[in-house]
Structure 1
Amino acid sequence: MRAMAYGAYGGTEVLAETRLPVPKVAPGEVLVRVRCAAVNPVDWKIMSGGLDALMDTVFPVVPGWDVSGTVERVGIDAPEFAVGDPVMGYARKDWVHGGTFAEFVSVPVRCLAAKPVSLDWRQAAGLPLAGLTAYQLLTRLGTGRGDTVLVHGAAGGVGSLGVQIAAALGARVIGTASPRNHDRLRGLGCEPVAYGDGLTERVRAVAPEGVTVVADFVGGVLDVTRAVLAEGGRHASIADHTVLGAGGQWMWVRPDSADLAALGRLADEGRLEVTVAETFPLAELAAAFALSQQGHTAGKIVIEV
């Protein structure tokens, strides 16, 4: 099969198009024929060796964890899916090796859900990792009706989905973002405030009694979080472990087919949209990674295989 892979840690220069065997399909897995795979910052951070202390790596590595496609083959004890099923997944395994920037990828069923009918292949590939990150953080904090949620980094890939998910859970949503993104956030059901100096005062101006939930998707904002959090409020971060010393939760996303299915239902109900910013062919993965590293795209970067 065609795949993009690297044989050692490094920058985009280590990526190369290559031919690899079609992956084996272990019990509890299915083989997915990849239609699209989305780029996430974790992909190039892993490639640079940034997660070597956390996860074992087997070279050559095919990067990529987000995928949409169709089931090509069903392994032993995987009754949840049948050949031909359209699926999406957060295909993270317990080690780094066989990812989604390839024609085929083997995926444990715990990482997959049915592709939402309302999303095209590109949008479906862009939903799993970012969507699950936002969904799991908000639901672990018990977000629901009566809450006022502050989303740090509301215009980002995770934050923009978090805004929509919090609104779908019944909460009032305030989001930090640069002014150029405020109109887009209003369209997603958010009350935007500009980040930067004076943020605490701006949040207090729209929520004088404080917020009950803070979702931090950027890091470096703990002082603001503590200043605007109402008594008894809850907060968590995906980017700042110091929240643990301030009564918050530090989390990272985990594969969960039930959570992924819940996101799919929100999409099909018209309460969750996925914005695709740029699309690249498989051979141009290095250019897609370089664009992701700039950190300025307003939407997902997707590879069409």
Structure 2
Amino acid sequence: MRAITQNTYGGPDVLRTADLPMPVPAADEVLLRVAATAVNPADWKVRAGSVRRLGAPPFTLGLDVAGTVVEIGSAVTGFAAGDEVFALMLSRRGAYAEYVTVPAANLAVVPAGLDLRQAAALPAAALTAWQAPTELRAGQRVLIHAAAGGVGHLAVQIAKLRGAYVIGTARAGNHDFLRELGADELIDYRAVDFTTAVRDVDVVLDLIGGDYGTRSLAVLRPDGRYIDAQGSDAEDDPRYRRFYVTPSGADLAEIGALAAAGRLRVRIERVMSLADVAEAHTLSESGRVRGKIVLIPWTD
């Protein structure tokens, strides 16, 4: 089967197509024929070597997957060949491939009304938006940095579903888009320092990191919570919490139901072939993607 691999850390040009053996599911896994995957910032950070959670190359990137069950492991129940499913993967053999194996516990059935490309755009971003702000309560004020991005635009909607007052930082060109998703207040970070524009925030969801940490603490209530999804300079503050996403088929089932019902919208910026994965990474790294880039397997 074909898959995208890399033999060294580096820029998008290190990504290449290779023929790899067909994976075999373990007892608790299923084998999927990949219909779609997606690009996440974590992908290009791992590719470049700035995040080394997969160990040394070679490996195959791809956190998000949607596809069709081909084979189930001997201990798997609840899934059968032919089921359309989606999942978050944390593996050295990721979803930039024609076939992948996935732990059954990570899987959810794609509900009617949600297509496989939409499903592939959801797992990493939606699970982050779903799991990170566990402290958020109805009526609270939440500040979401990078609100128009893959995680951010879903976090805006999920926060609204939980009854929050949502403030987002984003380029002015994305403000109408975010208002449509329910954002109550928006700050153009290129024109305004958010620390002068907002106060008394109960929860900050920081999807940028770096010095946004200390700056965010300045607008946070003394009893508030700062949630860092990227790595920032605020880790010594007692209000700080570092967040790491966890695969969960149960959470994805709830997310999928909301999306199928039209209560959660995932924005797909572009659909591209895995043959063009280097271009997709370059586009994602530009920081100007609204929503997600979806990748589909080779068509030739």
TM-superposition CA deviations, 1:213-256 (whole Å, max 9, x none): 11111122233322222232222111234333112101121212
- Normalised by the size of structure 1, how large is the TM-score? 0.90
- Normalised by the size of structure 2, how large is the TM-score? 0.92
In the alignment, the residues of structure 2 paired with residue 8 and residue 222 of structure 1 have an alpha-carbon distance, to the nearest angstrom, of 31
1:240 alignment partner, SS class? coil
Partner of 1:274: 266
In the alignment, the residues of structure 1 paired with residue 194 and residue 264 of structure 2 have an alpha-carbon distance, to the nearest angstrom, of 27
TM-superposition CA deviations, 1:87-130 (whole Å, max 9, x none): 1111113xx2x111111000012222111333222111110001
CA distance change for structure 1 residues 17 and 222 in 2, over 3 Å: closer, same or farther?
A: closer
Q: 1:261 aligns with which of 243, 253, 256?
A: 253
Q: 1:233 aligns with which of 212, 224, 237?
A: 224
After superposition, residues 61-100 of structure 1 pair within 5 angstroms as: 61-93=59-91, 96=92, 98-100=93-95
TM-superposition CA deviations, 1:162-196 (whole Å, max 9, x none): 10110111111111111111111110110212225
In the alignment, the residues of structure 2 paired with residue 203 and residue 2 of structure 1 have an alpha-carbon distance, to the nearest angstrom, of 49
Partner of 2:170: 177
- The answer on 1:149 being equivalent to 2:146 is no
Task: Report which stretch shifted further, 245-254 or 195-204.
Answer: 195-204
Q: How many residues align?
A: 293
Question: Following TM superposition, by how much is the alpha carbon of 1:262 offset from its aligned partner in structure 2, in angstroms?
Answer: 1.9
CA distance change for structure 1 residues 177 and 200 in 2, over 3 Å: closer, same or farther?
A: same
CA distance change for structure 1 residues 267 and 11 in 2, over 3 Å: closer, same or farther?
A: same
CA distance change for structure 1 residues 223 and 4 in 2, over 3 Å: closer, same or farther?
A: closer
- The answer on 1:112 being equivalent to 2:110 is no
Partner of 1:207: none
Q: Which runs of 4+ in 1 moved over 6 A?
A: none
Structure 2 unaligned segments of length 5 or more: list them. none
- The answer on 1:296 being equivalent to 2:295 is no
Q: Counterpart of 2:26 in structure 1: which amino acid?
A: A
Question: Following TM superposition, by how much is the alpha carbon of 1:50 offset from its aligned partner in structure 2, in angstroms?
Answer: 2.5
Q: Counterpart of 2:225 in structure 1: which amino acid?
A: R
After superposition, residues 13-32 of structure 1 pair within 5 angstroms as: 13-32=13-32
Note if contact 2:46-2:54 (Cα within 8 Å) is conserved in structure 1. Answer: no
Q: 2:204 aligns with which of 214, 229, 233?
A: 214
Structure 1 unaligned segments of length 5 or more: list them. 205-209
CA distance change for structure 1 residues 170 and 75 in 2, over 3 Å: closer, same or farther?
A: same
Aligned sequence identity (%):
44
Task: Report which stretch shifted further, 157-166 or 218-227.
Answer: 218-227
Partner of 1:165: 158
- The answer on 1:136 being equivalent to 2:158 is no
In the alignment, the residues of structure 2 paired with residue 153 and residue 179 of structure 1 have an alpha-carbon distance, to the nearest angstrom, of 12
Partner of 1:126: 121
In the alignment, the residues of structure 1 paired with residue 253 and residue 56 of structure 2 have an alpha-carbon distance, to the nearest angstrom, of 29
Q: CA RMSD of the aligned region, Å?
A: 1.7
